[in-house]
């Protein structure tokens, strides 16, 4: 049965309410009191203190739909059917309350019961951590899944941890979308990187704490942390080809198609650009709404990089004017029902994105053409590495984030001297620091971005390490 993304979100939250969970709103994308993360990337991340027992949760069973950003997936966006840098994660959590048995039974009930989502059980495959026999018994004996349909994976796939904090073995649920989505390799099966077997839900049996240095200790309480991508669930239920064709997301893409005068599903290159822009305008709208401002470091850099990458893909589609803040209207219209803050801060979000786009628009065309010349010069010498000084010039004069330059070079089978670039960046930072010292307090005057002063953002530049910006 067809169900819209908004309906599925509501179904999930009310299903877990019926199992005694307290429904909480999504937390902000900006982590609070957690320097190990730049942006919230999962439902559990903002609730770490409840898992470790540091803080008492409002109830021992909680359910949320959490806004998430995963910059690590940026290169997948546009290429796979199942990755966005932004997505919503549905989750049910137990803080020292129920454990594996209930978590597995409820996930199966929600997905397969005709009263709920009603997915064909023959298309679903669970995976477990290699030596988690307890989970195996539950899937096999209690749910009745034959042993050969239960996959055992190692640490990389079935031991969940992100940064420091609570972690543990997990059991994932995969959906077979059918051969037509597969890579057709003879060994293609659950766990294959292609889009045929799509992971929809991850049940984490969070029972350890990682101190951040790889030392694991048993937590005082055993917890459950689950995460299911709302767009992936909708993709399955709606039987569409990718996350980007899910109802609300598709409407955003349609807006871009109208502006560019192109159609989806006609040309793979165009499709990639459409998917990249669709994803990035979603992620950046949500980030700005939660108080991130474009800058050259930390979260602000992530935002800038996403916006400029989207702007460049707009150029690839032949759009010759700033357009992202127009598409923003559809992002807000499609999401304000569940996230009313989008409508409340609409003017502000428009202003931030417009300013950033205008700033880049002034230099992107000349930057792209200079980069073209640089590439031609390197190629003429029979080389494939762009000098660091060129990459730095593109950054410094034309506002090209290094990752954007790298991406464009990669398309040409080229690279750049990354270490050389970083060294030039450090020199520049050093110079700026010296200049600021000389100017005393006045040095900060240039930081005035002319933004709406009534919007408060927490300044936490000091708690976020520079390295994180480069890792991401």
Binding mask 181-200 for Mg ion (x = CB under 5 A): ------------------x-
Asked if residue 357 binds ligand ATP (CB under 6 A), the reply is: no
Among 126, 123, 108, residue whose Cα is nearest residue 191: 126
Name the token pair of 349.
Answer: 């979000």
Q: How far is the CB of 233 from ligand ATP (least distance, A)?
A: 7
Q: Which does 104 bind (CB under 5 to 8 A by kind): Mg ion, ligand ATP, none?
A: none
**Which residue, 244 or 301, is less far from ligand ATP as judged by CB?**
244
Binding footprint of Mg ion, residue count (CB under 5 A) = 2
Per DSSP, the residues of 90-131 read EEEEEESS--HHHHHHHHHHHHH-TTTT---GGGEEEEEETT
Distance CA 102, CA 83 (A): 28
Asked if residue 232 binds ligand ATP (CB under 6 A), the reply is: yes
Between the alpha carbon of residue 269 and those of residues 265, 272, 317, 415, 435, the distances in Å are 10, 5, 9, 21, 45
Q: Taking a C-beta distance cutoff of 8 angstroms, is the pair 161, 210 a contact?
A: yes
Binding mask 109-148 for ligand ATP (x = CB under 6 A): ----------------------------------------
Q: How far is the CB of 154 from Mg ion (least distance, A)?
A: 12
**Which residue, 61 or 70, is less far from Mg ion as judged by CB?**
70
Asked if residue 199 binds ligand ATP (CB under 6 A), the reply is: yes
**Which residue, 248 or 416, is less far from ligand ATP as judged by CB?**
248
Q: How far is the CB of 147 from Mg ion (least distance, A)?
A: 22
**Which residue, 197 or 392, is less far from ligand ATP as judged by CB?**
197
Segment lying near ligand ATP (by CB under 6 A), choices 214-222, 224-232, 329-337, 380-388: 224-232
Q: Taking a C-beta distance cutoff of 8 angstroms, is the pair 328, 353 a contact?
A: yes
Binds ligand ATP by CB under 6 A, chosen from 168, 227, 367, 401: 227
Name the token pair of 38.
Answer: 């730049």
Binds ligand ATP by CB under 6 A, chosen from 9, 21, 67, 82: 82
Q: How far is the CB of 92 from Mg ion (least distance, A)?
A: 15
Q: How far is the CB of 383 from ligand ATP (least distance, A)?
A: 35
Q: How far is the CB of 137 from Mg ion (least distance, A)?
A: 21
Asked if residue 202 binds Mg ion (CB under 5 A), the reply is: yes
Distance CA 442, CA 448 (A): 11
Summary count for the chain: helices (H), strands (E): 16, 11
Asked if residue 200 binds ligand ATP (CB under 6 A), the reply is: yes
Q: Taking a C-beta distance cutoff of 8 angstroms, is the pair 208, 217 a contact?
A: yes
**Which residue, 107 or 330, is less far from ligand ATP as judged by CB?**
107
Asked if residue 201 binds ligand ATP (CB under 6 A), the reply is: yes
Chain position whose Cβ is nearest to ligand ATP: 229
**Which residue, 135 or 200, is less far from ligand ATP as judged by CB?**
200
Residue 108 makes CB contacts below 8 A (sequence gap 6+) with 143
Residue 123 makes CB contacts below 8 A (sequence gap 6+) with 175, 176
Asked if residue 71 binds Mg ion (CB under 5 A), the reply is: no
Asked if residue 190 binds ligand ATP (CB under 6 A), the reply is: no
Between the alpha carbon of residue 157 and those of residues 135, 191, 302, 309, the distances in Å are 15, 8, 26, 29
Q: Taking a C-beta distance cutoff of 8 angstroms, is the pair 180, 153 a contact?
A: no
Between the alpha carbon of residue 334 and those of residues 4, 14, 303, 417, the distances in Å are 11, 21, 21, 42
Q: Is 271 helix (H, G, I), strand (E, B) or coil?
A: helix
**Which residue, 97 or 199, is less far from Mg ion as judged by CB?**
199
Residue 192 makes CB contacts below 8 A (sequence gap 6+) with 182, 183, 185
Binding footprint of ligand ATP, residue count (CB under 6 A) = 16
Q: Taking a C-beta distance cutoff of 8 angstroms, is the pair 82, 243 a contact?
A: yes
Among 101, 111, 31, 95, residue whose Cα is nearest residue 66: 31
Q: How far is the CB of 284 from ligand ATP (least distance, A)?
A: 15
Burial of 448: CB neighbours in 10 Å, binned 0-12, 13-18, 19+: exposed
Segment lying near ligand ATP (by CB under 6 A), choices 1-9, 19-27, 83-91, 349-357: 83-91
Q: How far is the CB of 227 from ligand ATP (least distance, A)?
A: 3
Binds ligand ATP by CB under 6 A, chosen from 117, 190, 228, 394: 228
- Chain residues that interact with ligand ATP, rule: CB under 6 A: 70, 73, 82-84, 87, 89, 199-202, 227-229, 231-232
Give the interface with Mg ion as residue ranges (CB under 5 A).
199, 202
């Amino acid at each position: 049965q067809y169900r819209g993304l908004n309906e599925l979100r509501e179904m999930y939250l009310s299903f877990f309410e019926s199992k005694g969970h307290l429904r909480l709103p999504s937390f902000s994308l900006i982590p609070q009191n957690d320097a190990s993360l730049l942006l919230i990337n999962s439902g559990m991340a903002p609730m770490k203190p409840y898992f470790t027992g540091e803080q008492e949760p409002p109830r021992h069973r909680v359910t949320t739909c959490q806004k998430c950003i995963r910059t690590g997936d940026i290169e997948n966006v546009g290429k796979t059917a199942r990755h966005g840098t932004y997505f919503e994660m549905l989750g049910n959590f137990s803080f020292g309350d129920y454990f594996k048995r209930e978590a597995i039974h409820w996930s199966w009930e929600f997905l397969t019961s005709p009263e709920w989502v009603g997915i064909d059980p023959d298309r679903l495959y669970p995976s477990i951590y290699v030596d988690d026999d307890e989970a195996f018994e539950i899937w096999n004996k209690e749910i009745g899944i034959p042993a050969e349909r239960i996959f055992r994976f190692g640490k990389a796939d079935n031991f969940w941890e992100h940064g420091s904090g609570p972690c543990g073995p997990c059991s994932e649920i995969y959906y077979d979308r059918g051969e037509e989505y597969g890579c057709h390799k003879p060994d293609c099966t659950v766990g294959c990187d292609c889009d045929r077997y799509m992971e929809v839900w991850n049940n984490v049996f969070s029972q350890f704490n990682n101190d951040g240095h790889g030392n694991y200790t048993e937590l005082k309480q055993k917890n459950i942390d689950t995460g299911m991508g709302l767009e992936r669930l909708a993709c399955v239920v709606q039987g569409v080809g990718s996350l980007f064709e899910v109802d609300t997301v598709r409407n955003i893409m349609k807006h871009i198609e109208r502006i560019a005068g192109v159609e989806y599903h006609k040309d793979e290159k165009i499709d990639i650009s459409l998917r990249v822009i669709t994803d990035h305008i979603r992620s950046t709208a949500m980030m700005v709404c939660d108080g991130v401002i474009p800058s050259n470091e930390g979260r602000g850099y992530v935002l800038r990089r996403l916006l400029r990458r989207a702007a460049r893909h707009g150029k690839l589609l032949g759009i010759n004017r700033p357009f992202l803040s127009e598409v923003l209207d559809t992002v807000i219209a499609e999401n304000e029902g569940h996230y009313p803050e989008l409508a409340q801060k609409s003017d502000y979000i428009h202003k931030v994105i417009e300013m950033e786009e205008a700033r880049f628009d002034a230099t992107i065309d000349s930057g792209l053409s200079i980069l073209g010349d640089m590439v031609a010069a390197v190629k003429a010498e029979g080389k494939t590495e762009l000098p660091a000084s060129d990459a730095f010039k593109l950054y410094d004069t034309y506002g090209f984030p290094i990752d954007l330059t790298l991406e464009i070079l990669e398309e040409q089978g080229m690279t750049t001297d990354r270490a050389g670039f970083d060294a030039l960046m450090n020199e520049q930072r050093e110079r700026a620091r010296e200049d600021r010292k000389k100017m005393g307090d006045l040095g900060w005057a240039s930081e005035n971005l002319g933004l709406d002063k009534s919007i408060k953002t927490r300044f936490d530049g000091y708690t976020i390490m520079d390295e994180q910006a480069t890792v991401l």
